[in-house]
Chains A and B, each alone.
Chain A
Amino acid sequence: MEWESVIGLEVHTQLLTKSKAFSGASTKYGAAPNTQACAVDIALPGVLPVFNKEAARMAVKFGLAIGAAINRRSVFARKNYFYPDLPKGYQISQYELPIVAKGRVTIDIDGQEKVVGITRAHLEEDAGKSLHEDFHGMSGIDLNRAGTPLLEIVSEPDLRSAKEAVAYLKKLHQLVVYLGICDGNMQEGSFRCDANVSVRRKGETKFGTRAEIKNVNSFRFVEKAIEYEIERQVELLEAGGKVVQETRLYDSDKNETRSMRGKEEAMDYRYFPDPDLPPLVIDEAFVRDVEKTMPELPDAKRARFIKDYGLSPYDASVLTASREMAQYYEETATASGQPKLAANWIASELSGYLNRENKDITQSPVTARMMTGLLKRIADNTISGKIAKDVLDAMWSGEGDADTVIAKQGLRQITDTGAIEKVVDEVIAKNPKQLEQYRAGKEALFGYFVGQVMKATGGKANPAQVNELLKKKLAG
C-alpha cells in the first residue's frame, strides 16, 4: 500500500523591531530577566496597548514579497489562554482578518520547481518564558520576550515530504532574512516552526487526521521530526489503528515525537475582537511606501546572476544564499572583471573555509577586496590556480593581501621560458633511466617529469609552458 504524506507548516518569525508590538519596552535578546518587561507586558491593570508601526510595515513587506494581497483592514483579536507566560490571560493575535492574505513561494526540489501556497500571515505577540527548574516547587517567569511582535506564516497543506517541508522552511527563512524583517536565529527562537502532518492512501483526495508537532528549532530536526511522524502514522494505520488529532512534542535526543496530552480540553481559545484595538488600516500610500524599501528578492537575484554572469544554477544558489554573500560576490566579480573565476573561488574555496570554521561571509577574514586581488593575479598569470590556494590560505590566516603574500613568499609564477627550460634540462639530465623508458614507449612517465620540474621550481613554473617544453625535449 502506498501512502502519501500531507504537511503544512506554521512558522513564527520574530519581527526585528527595536520595541515591542504593543509597548515601548526593548526587544533585545539576552537581557537580565524582566528588565525589558514594562507595565503593559506584565499586564498591570489600566494599561492600554498601542501598536508598533514598524511591525505593520514589516508584515506588509512580507506580503508584497510573496505576492499576497494586503488586507486594507485587519483586526486584532484576543486568544484566551491561561499560562503565566502571558499574564493578561490572552494573547493579542489576528484571527478572522489577518494583515496578509493568500500568497505563494517557489521551492526547488531536485531541480524541479514547486509552488507552495501560503494561506495567510498574521501579526501577534510572543509569550514570555517559563523556567521550570526548582524554585521551591514554583515556576520562574521571565517576561522579557512577552509582547515581542511575531508574524505567523501559515502554509497551505501543499507539502508532500519532509524534504519539501525543509526546502519550504529554508526558502521562507532566506526570504525573511533578505527582507530584513527577522534575524532568522533559530537557536534564540527568532524563527520557529510547528508542523501539521497527516498521511493518506495515494490517490485519496480527503486529508487524513493530522497531528501537530510543536516548536522544532533546527532545519535538521524539522526533517527528522516529520519523517518520524509520517512513519508513526503509517505504522499505526497499517496495524488497523487510528491517528488522533493532537499536539506532539519532538524529542531530539530520542528522535521521536510524543503526545502532549492534557492540552486538548483547553484548545477552545474563544477568540473575539480586542476592544482595546480598533482595526489596523493600511492605505495605498502605506503600501507604496513599503514597496520603495523592497530589496531585490533571492529568486530575482539568482536569475540575474545566471543571466548576467553566466553562472550555473548551483553556483547562483550558493552565491545568493544571503544578501551579504551576494554582495560579496558582486563586488568581487565586478572589481576583478572575472565573474566565473569569482564564482568558483567564492562558492567552493572560500565557502569551504567558512563552513569549516562555521563563519558567515560577513566574518570572513578575506574581504571582497582581498579576493579581488587574488583573482587578478590568477587572471594575469602571476600565480597558478594551485599556488593561489596557498595564497588564499595565507590570506585567511591574516598574512596580508594577495600581493603581499606573493611577494613575501616568492610565489610569483615562473613564466620566463629560458628559466623553465634550464630546469627541464636539469631534470632530464638527472633521470637518464626514466628518459630511456619514456622514449621506449612508457608515456605514463610524462607525469613524473612534470612533477620533478614542479618540485624543482617550488610549484611556481607555469604548468602550460612546462608541458610544452617537456614534450619537445623528451621527444629528443
Chain B
Amino acid sequence: MSLDTTQVRKIAHLARLRISAEEAQAYADSLSRILGLIEQMNAVDTSGVEPMAHPSESALRLRPDEVTEPNQREKFQAIAPAVEAGLYLVPKVIE
C-alpha cells in the first residue's frame, strides 16, 4: 500500500500543515514506507494477543476531585497576542 501526493495534501490540510510540492512528494515516499512496515506487521498472526493501547504497562493515574489551580489570568494574558474584557481574541472563526 502506498500514498500519493493527493492523499498527502489532504492529510496535511486536515492537520493544517502547509507543504510545498517537493515536500508532498517526499512525505508520500516516506509515509508509504511506514505503511509498508505496518503491512509487514499486519501479516503476523496476533490472534489471542490482547491489543495494546499504550506502550507503557501502567494504568492511568487518577487525581482526587479538588480545585488546586488558582486564577492566574493576568499572567496568562500578559503573554497572549490579543485580549479584551478577559477574553482571548483570535481571528474570527465564523463568517
Contacts and interface: CB of A to CB of B under 8 A. Distances in A.
A42 B15 CA distance: 19
Contact of A42 (B76, B93, B94): B76
Contact of A279 (B60, B77, B92): B60
B9 to A, nearest CB: 13
B65 A17 contact: yes
B35 to A, nearest CB: 15
A440 interface: no
A18 interface: yes
Interface stretch (B23-31, B39-47, B80-88): B80-88
Interface string A14-39: 00011100011110000011111111
Contacts of B72: 38-39
B53 interface: yes
B31 to A, nearest CB: 14
B93 A130 contact: yes
Nearest to A84: B90
Judged by DSSP, the binding face of A is loop
Nearest to B58: A278
B15 A139 contact: no
A56 B60 CA distance: 11
A140 B60 contact: no
Contact of A141 (B58, B59, B66, B89): B89
A344 B67 CA distance: 45
Name the residue in B14, B66, B69 with the highest tally of chain A Cβ atoms < 10 Å from its Cβ.
B69
B20 interface: no
Interface residues of B, number: 35
Given A138-B89, A273-B53, A18 B66 contact: yes
Name the residue in A140, A143, A277 with the highest tally of chain B Cβ atoms < 10 Å from its Cβ.
A140
Contacts of B63: 24, 50-53
B69 to A, nearest CB: 4
Name the residue in A17, A34, A37, A273 with the highest tally of chain B Cβ atoms < 10 Å from its Cβ.
A34
Contact of A38 (B61, B69, B91): B69
Interface in A373-392: none
Given A34-B73, A84-B93, A277-B60, A141 B67 contact: no
Interface of B: 14-16, 53-54, 56, 58-69, 71-73, 76-77, 82, 84-94
10 contacts: A19-B67, A24-B69, A34-B77, A53-B64, A55-B65, A75-B53, A83-B93, A97-B53, A275-B54, A278-B54
